[in-house]
Chains A and B, each alone.
Chain A
Amino acid sequence: MSYFYRLTLFSFFVFALSLTGFGQSGQDLVSGNFTNVKFEQFARTVEQATPYRFYYRPGELDSVVVNLNVDRKPLSNVLQQLFNGTLFQYAIDARKRVYITVNRPIRTNLPIDFFDRGNNAGKDDSTANAYLTESRKQIVAPETKIYEVGKRTNPIRPGRATVAGYIRNQASGEPIVGAAVYIDNPRIGTSTDQFGYYSFTLPRGRHALKLRSVGMKDTQRQIILYGDGSLDVNMEDDVIPLKEVVIAAEKDVNVSGLQMGQERVDIRTMKQVPTALGETDLLRVVMTLPGVKSVGESSTGLNVRGGATDQNLILYNDATIYNSSHLFGFFSAFNPDVIKSVELYKSGIPSRYGGRLSSVLEVMTRDGNKKKFGGSGGLGLLTGRLTLEGPILKDKTSFIIGGRSSYSSWLLKQVPVSTFRNSRANFYDVNVHITHDYNNKNTIYLTGYLSQDYFRLNSDTAYNYRNQNLTLKWKHLFNNKLYSVFTGGVSQYKYNVSADRNPVNAYDLDFGINQTMAKADFNYFPNPKHTVDFGISSTYYKLQPGTYLPRGTESLVASDRVPAEQGIESAVYVGDRYDINQRLSLSFGLRYSLYSYLGPKDVFAYAPGLPVTTNNIVDTVSYAANKPIQTYHGPEYRFSARYVLSENASVKASFNRMRQYIQMLSNTTVIAPTDIWKLSDSHIRPQVGDQYSLGIYKNLKANTVELSVEGYYKTMQNLIDYRSGAVLILNHHIETDVVNAEGKAYGIELMAKKLTGKLNGWISYTYARTFLRTTGTQVGEVINQGKYYPSNYDKPHDVTMIGNYRFSRRFSVSINMTYSTGRPITLPLAKYTLGEAQRLLYSERNQYRIPDYFRTDFAMNIEGNHKVKKLAHSSWTISVYNLTGRRNAYSIYFKSENGGIRGYKLSIFGQPIPSLTYNFKF
């Protein structure tokens, strides 16, 4: 075929050389009244009256009937009118020859630099490329092809109809999330959901349906909408990412989207951010976003807008992840090879989410390639990983399986120092995801996840922890306007601490959470002004708060079991997004959650008005199995509004209330592997948080630069803080060791993003404060005299810059800079001598700060050549973490050593950390 086009082009070229500069004269105009005339006859009539000569295949045009009444109009206008809404294309050359073709117009002049082609490929001439490259033809074709949607009617009925379908990746068949689907006139649009599904109601008739998405080529489909129908679209990878490197999903969603306080980060962006140990780390990237902080270098615990680390709902394909870190927090629990994107909701949280106060972090995996087998992997300083994917049934069922493991234990064994040689630290994780398109209406997704950590630090105490998840999702389309997703899943987190060096004291300490969840979510698109979602969910928790058992026969350890606790949390929700007019959109949501703490359990009653201590226990009430001990319920309101100020500016506001029935107990500053979770019970009330936020958004330079300012104010009730000397592990009455607190947080977040071009990235500044205050009045229940004190993660100023510069397709450089105020600490106020040693008296909580934090990272990505047909594609990432080697304080502590007091500053990555990672893909 391509030979044919070349020949045709050559002949045009010969003609074109001899003929230039013809203008249009009066005799070129067409007049006539054509009623039910065959095209052949129409052409003949025109040829007689004008110098035009028609060239076409009579067979292709024999069905065309001309019904026109024209008076002295240019031929091009007439043909335009005639062929509008059909597949036919026309072209008129300088010698007034008219070519009629199907689908694609004939080119009538030569491409620029036609003769230099070959040694100067890549010039911006897409049409020429389309002609010259066979493979491109298949892609270009759908853009000009006209798709008829709905049952054909003649004439097209007035009114609206709904088109729905999936947007997928051309190469892998993977659904594309968050792709924008819109038309320009009237300017309305929608975007695909997490399944790549969209439903779009628009006026019947002819439209150019435009599609845009992250890292995909913009495309469009010509549709004639007769009635409700479906249209699936395949988008092509943006294989030449020279101009658009970091691309926001929807280029103007910042301004036009209703959601605020939401950040979506694509895996491509994540891969550009340098990390300490060379491996792409989802949580570290999330931490660079405004409003997200962490207490220290080795922590993957997120503090979102002044919330605690347990107030984030971390979902991995809908399964809750309780411990998101590996190896003391140096790695996050997510394998970058299987992740597609991550979405963080900081405010205006949609009503379908609930159960945590601060944020929702939704991690989505890729679907396996439905077309062909492939794999990817990498080797880093401490880890190796391998991912395989491919079809099980071509175009219907696909799988992706990824594994990752560290070899840090092997490294430790090599150190010629016994303290290290006797230490072990390793982890692995496995991800499996299967997608099956049963038919057009039903799709099934199965996700499995397992992660395991083990470490022992030069002592006999060994730590193990494990996350296990399994989810099954069934998506069912009722019709174009209504679909449902049914999800069932189990999430399990458990840890074990054991020691066996001294057989007399050898023990096993176990903790576990089992969570079983079922939910049904519905999405309903009644008309273009409303998008409704509603659903119901229920989660059953079963916790083993601690078992302490002898290990081995010689052990004298007495078994101690904190009785299991269970609870059930259910919710119903409904949300409606109402586009009142082009400028104003509102979203209302209501979630009603109901929680019951269930027996069997012996519940202590404490004397009213006295401190909650074991001395004041006045009664013990026994509850039978599955009998509700305490029930809490309440509405959670969600509201957001957007008002468009101009085409590229808008203002948004939101309010949300969240309720949380399970909390983490930890009196360490960072998440420790031995932290336990606790259900709300008769003494520990569920946490309730309200957040108000307001933001202004503006895009500049054709949506390539996004500016935003968001402010928020937040209040939190029934938070937990700890008494001095609280014992959390194996405590049969946690209520005696915790104190009730309330919190407030406020802040302002400024962000500027440049999304396209060789130089791209973002810079953000956050001012944020967060305070706690104890609400108790009894002795031991008051911290800092009941006054507000800064929480552990109160870091007022934060500036982050992520920059990437792409020198060529194969070479790019990234720089990442971050500055923040040091976190609050409690410093000693005085020293005193007791026995032979000096001891410390600490000040009131969190009245001082560790030194400010500043770090610069640098990374270089070098990719192999981009030959499409190659056995394996590989790339190298060379990175230097903490380029300036600044010894940022992780903690400040004071120790009584040899009788004297010494102050120390612990830095975790106190020198530049170079690393090298090799990634491959086949």
Chain B
Amino acid sequence: MKRKHTQQLIGWLFILIMGGCVDPYRPPEITAPATYLVVDGFLDIAPGAVTTFKLSRSQNLTDAKAPTMETKATVTIESSRNLKYSLKEVTSGVYSYTSVPSQTGETFRLRIKTSRGVEYLSDMVAFKNSPVIDQVNWKVENDGVRIYADAHDPTGNTRYYRWEYEETWEFTSAFYSSYEVKNKQIVQRQQDIFTCWNSAKSKNILINSSAKLNQDVISQMPITYVPGYSTKIGVRYSILVKQYALTQDAYLYWEQLSKTTENIGSLFDPQPTQVTGNIQNLTNPAEPALGYFSAGTVTSKRMFIRRMELPYWVTKTGYDGCVKDTLTPKELIDNKYPGQIPITDLPDGTYETGQEVCVDCRLQGTNVKPSFWNQ
């Protein structure tokens, strides 16, 4: 045992020496000479699908505000058949169109004219239809769950893949509340604020390619990792994986973007470079436009994980500091201690109460059950 400790100590010493250290770094004040147009969206050519493009402006690094949206622009999708589809601005900076028809071999491009008269045009792109996702599965790894996706294209035309996902999970607050204070009265609670759902969208770039394989097969592409203590797998977890097929150029764009903004910080980093997509500024060609225009269809697959399928892990619910209190009905009705919510009644006529954040799960999510939840 002692020997083991010594060995561990030596090991730690080694890490101390070799591991290096990472500190936060605040760069010098750099101000970009201008803000640049950012085009975020995808032309979905599936019948009935809604195509959305979000136009915004780039920001200075220190700018903490939400990005400025590019409103009142003229956004048009042009096809090689000389068809034009004008997108409508649905909310500020978000432009959409429903059901863009397509024919085999047809190509598309995006034309944008801002309210200030600056014009942008994308390259002509071919659309690519995404093959189905064969499966989404999970494995227990390093005290957590890693989620994988498999896909293949028997025609061998896809080759370049990109994924996005949306996680949804059920969770409960610390205490189940049976009562509520309504109109200066303590009444039975009608609405469940104990069980809620929360969701999150993928933030990292997930791409893979079968270009170097004999067959167009993606095997066990890691999608995401959920640590065992995460509240996401505290009750029940679901993930919807969306798959896009990319052209080679689009793949290279996403790969570059991933390399320069995500896979960085090793000893052998590539030099960061300016990653620009396939959209040019026609008015001022030297000024970059950001984002990438691509077209095609999306396929998706949903998967669930129940708590009982997993090994025993202690969940960090975020409610760890919650304690109960006891209040008289009068104190509750007079709201003497704001934020205290009755949980249950006690034989002596008082009520067990808890802090709102510990009782009302709606502060962390929604108590509206998603439509897909009972699958």
Contacts and interface: CB of A to CB of B under 8 A. Distances in A.
B220 to A, nearest CB: 5
A887 B265 contact: no
Contacts of A520: none
A669 B203 contact: no
A14 B265 CA distance: 83
Given A416-B8, A420-B11, A893 B264 contact: yes
A410 to B, nearest CB: 9
Given A556-B217, A830-B58, A834-B38, A904 B265 contact: yes
Interface stretch (A3-11, A195-203, A623-631, A895-903): A895-903
B270 A668 contact: yes
Interface string A886-921: 010111111110110111111111110100000000
Given A725-B252, A839-B261, A832 B22 contact: no
A903 B269 CA distance: 15
Contacts of B331: none
Nearest to B211: A558
Contacts of A116: none
A560 B58 contact: no
B290 to A, nearest CB: 5
Given A725-B255, A892-B25, A415 B14 contact: yes
A799 B69 CA distance: 50
Interface in B257-311: 257, 260-262, 264-265, 267-276, 288, 290-291
A287 interface: no
A833 B38 contact: yes
A891 B265 contact: yes
A411 interface: yes
Contacts of B2: none
A330 B14 CA distance: 13
Contacts of B264: 893-895
A606 interface: no
A842 B214 contact: no
Contacts of B40: 833-835
Given A415-B15, A895-B265, A848 B28 contact: yes
A890 B202 CA distance: 31
A275 B255 CA distance: 38
A821 B142 CA distance: 42
- Which residue of B8, B38, B274 has the most chain A CB atoms within 10 A of its CB atom? B274
Nearest to B204: A837
B202 A330 contact: no
Given A412-B14, A420-B15, A891-B265, A908 B20 contact: yes
B342 to A, nearest CB: 36
Contacts of B274: 724, 841-843
A298 interface: yes
A408 interface: yes
Contacts of B25: 889, 892, 903-905
A674 B12 CA distance: 28
- Which residue of B14, B32, B201, B290 has the most chain A CB atoms within 10 A of its CB atom? B14
Contacts of A902: 24
Given A411-B10, A411-B11, A724-B256, A831 B20 contact: no
A408 B273 contact: no
A831 B63 CA distance: 9
Contact of A841 (B17, B32, B203, B214): B32
- Which residue of A329, A414, A548 has the most chain B CB atoms within 10 A of its CB atom? A414
A896 B203 contact: yes
- Which residue of A502, A548, A557, A841 has the most chain B CB atoms within 10 A of its CB atom? A841
A907 B59 contact: no
B147 to A, nearest CB: 15
Contacts of A328: 267
A840 interface: yes
A243 interface: no
Contacts of B20: 890, 906-910
Given A414-B7, A842-B260, A845-B271, A898 B203 contact: yes
Interface string B25-42: 111101010011010100
A668 B259 CA distance: 12
A277 interface: yes
Contacts of A413: 11
A903 B203 contact: no
A826 B262 contact: no
Given A502-B220, A724-B275, A792-B271, A895 B11 contact: no
Interface string B184-222: 000000000000000001111000001011110101100
Nearest to B262: A896
A60 to B, nearest CB: 69
A414 B8 contact: yes
Interface in A664-701: 667-670, 672-674
Contact of B61 (A415, A557, A893, A901): A901
Contacts of B256: 724-725
Contacts of B14: 382, 408, 411-412, 414-415
A165 interface: no
A827 interface: yes
B203 A828 contact: no
Nearest to A792: B271
A836 B201 contact: yes
Given A832-B67, A834-B291, A668 B268 contact: yes
B272 A842 contact: yes
Contact of B30 (A411, A673, A843): A843
B23 interface: yes
Given A420-B11, A835-B40, A560 B212 contact: yes
A112 interface: no
A864 to B, nearest CB: 26
B21 interface: yes
A669 B288 CA distance: 25
B83 interface: no
Contact of B27 (A890, A903, A913): A903
Contacts of B8: 414-416
B220 A828 contact: no
A45 B191 CA distance: 141
Nearest to A895: B264
A527 interface: no
Given A828-B61, A831-B59, A892 B27 contact: yes
B18 interface: yes
Interface string A723-738: 0110000100000000
Interface in A557-576: 557-558, 560
A327 to B, nearest CB: 9
A504 interface: yes
B269 A891 contact: yes
A133 interface: no
Contacts of A826: 271-273
A668 B58 contact: no
Given A504-B220, A828-B30, A668 B269 contact: yes
B11 A416 contact: yes
Given A841-B58, A892-B25, 18 more contacts: A298-B267, A415-B11, A416-B8, A505-B219, A556-B215, A672-B267, A724-B256, A828-B27, A830-B61, A831-B61, A832-B290, A834-B257, A835-B202, A837-B203, A889-B25, A895-B261, A895-B264, A910-B23
30 contacts: A329-B267, A411-B14, A414-B11, A416-B8, A417-B15, A504-B219, A505-B219, A556-B213, A669-B271, A670-B267, A725-B255, A725-B275, A828-B30, A829-B32, A830-B58, A837-B203, A839-B275, A839-B290, A840-B261, A841-B275, A841-B288, A842-B273, A842-B274, A889-B25, A891-B269, A901-B61, A904-B25, A907-B21, A907-B23, A913-B17
Q: Which 9 A-B pairs have the closest CB atoms?
A: A414-B11, A415-B11, A504-B219, A672-B268, A905-B25, A724-B273, A832-B58, A910-B21, A414-B7
Interface of A: 276-277, 298, 328-330, 381-382, 408, 411-418, 420, 502, 504-505, 507, 548, 550, 556-558, 560, 667-670, 672-674, 722, 724-725, 730, 792, 826-837, 839-843, 845, 848, 887, 889-896, 898-899, 901-911, 913
